[in-house]
Amino acid sequence: MTGFDIELAGQTLNVGCRYRLTAAYLDPFRVGEYRKEEENAPAIFASDSDIERFKMINRVTELNRGEQPRAHAEWFFETQALHEQIARELVTRGVLLVHGSAVVTGGRAYLFIAPTRTGKSTHTRLWLELLGSDAYIVNDDKQLLYPTDSGVLTYASPWGVVPKPDPDHAPVAAIVLLSRGSTDVIRPAERSKMLPALMKASLRGKDAAETTAILDLQDKVLSSVKLYELQCTPTPHAAEVAIEALTKDS
């Protein structure tokens, strides 16, 4: 097993990987050198049972979607197991992993959350088409939210298809709950509606203590940023409407 340190949301984590492709996946966030972990196991690593559990989770998920189970490589399941363990460790350090796409412009981040396949990444890519070099995506799938006394920072994570940006973090100006519609309309969102959406987009606690910690982080996040709902089409006009409302209000 190869061990090394990674830095996520300003936190240093010691991880171990069996497979070269898993290590390559995490490499943009690596700090320090690779090393062989022969006597002392890394703090975070995927056991045989972890990998088998994620094989079963993937099989059930694909069957529930009406898809034929696919033959994934072993490193894929190791990556999933490490993803979960890293997310749980970060909760203990005050960092919340959230499923969403965050775009930055003017030094401020705008985080879009919604169920899978609603079009979060499509929408943030439209911001890039309109704003060009004045905008960039922190991550198009998983954000690391770090509430501080002065606001919430969103950090890049290894889980997404966009490269790690530089800088890899920005203060969050707003969280937007995105839904598909026939028109493009944005309005302030009620906290009572945003909380369930953020809970669905966040890690789920494995026990009462972790659940309480996650709920506390969600409360800090929602108390520190502006909240919106965006009903939109998958068109540049939707991005124009969102950009005008969000950047003007922040």
Give per-residue pLDDT as tens, 57-73.
988 888 888 888 788 89
Which pLDDT score, from 0 to 100, does residue 76 have? 92
**This prediction's pTM:** 0.92
- Looking at the structure, do residues 79 and 21 belong to the same domain, yes or no? yes
- Looking at the structure, do residues 192 and 156 belong to the same domain, yes or no? yes
Q: Which of 49, 74, 91 is the last residue of a domain?
A: 91
Picking from 241, 186, 198, the residue whose alpha carbon sits closest to that of residue 223 is: 198
Contacts of 109 by beta carbon, 8 Å cutoff, 6+ apart = 102, 103, 138, 154, 170, 171, 172, 173
Higher pLDDT, 196 or 66: 196
**Percent share of the chain, pLDDT over 70:** 98
Q: For residues 195 and 215, what is the distance between their CA atoms, to the nearest angstrom?
A: 9
Our count of domains for the chain comes to 2
SS3 state of residue 142: strand
Per DSSP, the residues of 15-31 read EEESSHHHHHHHGGGEE
Q: Which of 91, 106, 124 is the last residue of a domain?
A: 91
- Output the CA angle 98-103-109, nearest 5 degrees: 80
Token pair belonging to 208: 């009462």
Residue pLDDT, tens place only, 72-104: 899 999 999 999 999 999 999 999 999 999 999
- Looking at the structure, do residues 19 and 135 belong to the same domain, yes or no? no
- Looking at the structure, do residues 77 and 185 belong to the same domain, yes or no? no
- Mean pLDDT computed over every residue of the chain: 93
| CATH number for the domain harbouring residue 172 | 3.90.228.20
- Looking at the structure, do residues 64 and 137 belong to the same domain, yes or no? no
- Looking at the structure, do residues 64 and 118 belong to the same domain, yes or no? no
Q: Which of 65, 91, 117 is the last residue of a domain?
A: 91
- Looking at the structure, do residues 180 and 116 belong to the same domain, yes or no? yes
Structural domain for 100, as ranges = 96-249
- Looking at the structure, do residues 116 and 143 belong to the same domain, yes or no? yes
Q: For residues 61 and 66, what is the distance between their CA atoms, to the nearest angstrom?
A: 9
Checking if the pLDDT of 164 tops 60, the result is yes
How far CA 202 is from CA of 75, 83, 99, 126, 223, in Å, comes to 24, 13, 6, 25, 16
